[in-house]
Chains A and B, each alone.
Chain A
């Protein structure tokens, strides 16, 4: 990145989300990504700051080099020029469980301040008011990736004191059968590799402190830290906010619309 970097003047919220997520990828990272914005983020990262990053999609493609944007992780496009077109035994056990995965890109419907995510139900699981899609691979990938980045919509009802159902493990978790809440490390023991490192929404970028509690790291241009706090049900720590999120560059927007998603699949 040069000092003369030119920032885009005209961009959409979703563009910033994709760009901010792409910047979480370190060159050489082995990245496990879900459907949607995670795909834009990893592909943009590979075209910009992290050309040596590798992408694994849970349905079985490993280090694919798609020339067309996939619409789901099972898409044949994911496997184009892949080093392996395998299956879930390989991705979940041969790659994830054995410890290759550096970074996970995931989504969620609800999150709490410890990064516990719900993608299963609204209300009591035994008599739910509404069902979402369910866990999928979200909790598995988040269990054993070294870092996880969640990409979510910022709404008061989604940023909750307690999520209705812990689908995906954050930094403080129930230890069953007693249900006592303990740090993730205590449950995962020698399997422990890390956990949620960032949450990126349409309003800001959040990270987690020494106690595993979420704080606002940067606020997106056009919003204030107070506005972000108002869109959280828990008492969000905004005291560590460093300032504004770096806007997308002209080059990043160009790549997103001409190379990553020229067909307008996720970027309308």
Chain B
């Protein structure tokens, strides 16, 4: 507890152990902790267990690098810029990634329980679907629900007949408490107060649910500034363990009021991710071919970054070409 410790990107990645249980900030291709993901791949992390309400470009970088062992989630892709999550799909089909599917609402229920210190959270969302088919409890089938891993619940879900208002049968979703929340945030105060601009996604819940939290900050600002409008903040400094100050740390995903999604970059990554060879070649260029985040930005070049830079009034780039007209 207390103020978070300021560390470097390399030190942050070094804290993550093979096999750790991870959750992330952001939503699909927005506000993902990409610089840290790249550094983890450079350091050769493996056997990671991911818990995410949805996956995105960051998931696919880890999947392509062969770093994921288990993936509890419900969706992966790059939105308009890449239809599928090719790396996760390949891992699931080939049996190298153990996939446990839920729905968004059910994953949110699991996070809420984890964030608020509850064992489970009730929900009526996605009842009557194959998500609940007992044959498709994949962690259970793999013998992982025997209590030996304290981060894996004894059941994928349970049901209860409402004992309070007789509303009938409802689902109970088990809490998730990942080892780490790897978060990218718009601003972090010098005492650790966290603010994100625009939609909050599940960032506040991910921070509370995890045992330890690393935040990549686009900017570190005086806490006194963030405390002028406390209603805009999403987490207290004492909930955060480590902070890395790293401008453009979410590229190629977008960060509201700082920069837009780099559509061309993600399209090229998506094309490469369709095969192991394609991914390896891409990673050689963009991950292993640069030794640091600064070198990565230099390779992208100032003109490219300028195009992505958000308009300070509307919060997104008004100069980047997005469509065919």
Contact = CB atoms under 8 A, between A and B. Distances in A.
The answer to whether A and B belong to the same complex is: yes
A261 B80 CA distance: 14
B130 A140 contact: no
A88 B256 contact: no
A173 B316 contact: no
Interface stretch (A89-97, A206-214, A231-239, A247-255): A89-97
A153 interface: no
Interface stretch (B13-21, B131-139, B145-153): B131-139
A174 B74 CA distance: 20
A135 interface: yes
B262 to A, nearest CB: 12
Interface residues of A, number: 70
B199 A78 contact: yes
A85 interface: yes
Interface residues of B, number: 76
A9 interface: no
Given A79-B199, A133-B85, A265-B323, A176 B108 contact: no
Contacts of A60: 27, 199-201
Interface in A112-129: 120-121, 125-126, 128-129
A144 B129 CA distance: 13
Given A264-B325, A265-B322, A166 B129 contact: yes
Contacts, number: 233
Contact of B256 (A76, A87, A135, A173): A76
Contacts of A133: 75-77, 83-85
B79 A174 contact: no
A97 B106 CA distance: 12
Interface string B72-103: 01111101110111001100110000010111
A12 interface: no
A179 B125 CA distance: 18
B103 A131 contact: no
Nearest to B29: A72
A89 B202 contact: yes
Contact of B199 (A74, A140, A189): A74
Contacts of A261: 323
Interface string A164-191: 0111110001111101000010011111
B227 to A, nearest CB: 20
Contact of A188 (B101, B128, B254): B128
A202 interface: no
B198 interface: yes
A167 B130 contact: yes
B124 interface: yes
B128 A174 contact: yes
Given A71-B79, A71-B80, A129 B30 contact: no
Given A59-B28, A135-B74, A179-B133, 13 more contacts: A35-B79, A79-B198, A88-B27, A88-B201, A89-B202, A131-B89, A131-B93, A134-B74, A139-B131, A143-B105, A166-B130, A187-B128, A265-B322
26 contacts: A67-B314, A68-B314, A72-B79, A74-B26, A74-B30, A76-B199, A87-B203, A88-B201, A97-B105, A125-B135, A126-B135, A134-B74, A134-B75, A134-B85, A136-B104, A137-B104, A138-B103, A139-B129, A167-B131, A173-B128, A174-B130, A189-B167, A191-B167, A191-B170, A263-B322, A263-B324
